[in-house]
Amino acid sequence: MMCLITASLVPLAFKETNLVFSAINVVATACFLLDYAVRLMTADMKLKRGAASFFLYPFTPMAIIDLLAILPVFTSLFPGLRLVKLLRLFRTFRVFRSFKMFRYARSVQIIAAVIKAQRGPLLAVCSLAVGYVLISALIIFNVEPDTFADFFEAVYWATVSLTTIGYGDICPVTVAGRIVTMISSIVGIAIVALPAGIITAGYMEQIKK
């Protein structure tokens, strides 16, 4: 399944299609359909909720990912459906096939267990980051109202500054705005580093277990 998932993602790296890519998509989709059907039929073995398992399983996170990985086949079965072809959305859904690897990759399962175990501290840090982004955006939006067309641009700037990426497409031009930017970037380094430390500590604990 890991090899099949990887192979099904290869065509997404090319704009054109050919017979080989089409064959890969058909085989992969058929296998994913069979996998989804078998998992649905044996849902009670995993959820252990009796008859309700067959109704609850389609709404579990991995089942939703499985379904999104299968949906692109409808663009080839029903080419006349214009709505499903908007922005090549269904073709993009093939990317969700990469998430199917979570079910089979041991390293990903360990990371998922770490995030689950450390969800409290991680949620606290995420709340701190979101709060800091909004506060920084409010400050810069009022310090330099001429630079930012709307509040969303200020939020975008604050997010980029928080992560210290600095694209440079939107930047303050006044002295006060640049001072706010420097402070935001410095504090952003500390906030961004916190999740890395939490996950690293949790990962070491999980490895010991």
Domain containing residue 194: CATH number: 1.10.287.70
**Per-residue confidence band for 74, with pLDDT thresholds at 50, 70 and 90:** low
111 within domain boundaries: no
Q: 158-184: per-residue pLDDT in tens?
A: 888 887 777 778 888 889 888 988 888
112 within domain boundaries: no
110 within domain boundaries: no
42 within domain boundaries: yes
- Quote the domain boundaries for residue 187: 117-208
**Per-residue confidence band for 87, with pLDDT thresholds at 50, 70 and 90:** very low
pTM, full prediction: 0.59
Q: 114-129: per-residue pLDDT in tens?
A: 888 888 888 998 899 8
Share of the chain above pLDDT 70, in %: 89
**Per-residue confidence band for 194, with pLDDT thresholds at 50, 70 and 90:** confident
Q: Which two tokens stand for residue 206?
A: 């999980």
| Res 83 pLDDT > 80 | no
Q: Which long-range contacts (CB under 8 A, 24 or more apart) does 192-197 make?
A: 192/129, 192/162, 192/163, 192/164, 194/125, 194/128, 195/122, 195/125, 195/126
Helix (H) or strand (E) run with residue 90 in it: helix 89-92
32 within domain boundaries: yes
Please state, in angstroms and rounded to a whole number, the distance separating the CA atoms of residues 117 and 114: 5
* Domain edge (last residue) among 104, 134, 155: 104
164 within domain boundaries: yes
CB distance 67 to 32 below 8 Å: no
**Per-residue confidence band for 75, with pLDDT thresholds at 50, 70 and 90:** low
CB distance 84 to 78 below 8 Å: yes
Burial class of residue 62 (count of CB atoms within 10 Å of its CB; 0-12, 13-18, 19+): middle
| Spatial CB neighbours of 126, under 8 Å, sequence gap ≥ 6 | 195
Please state, in angstroms and rounded to a whole number, the distance separating the CA atoms of residues 88 and 82: 10
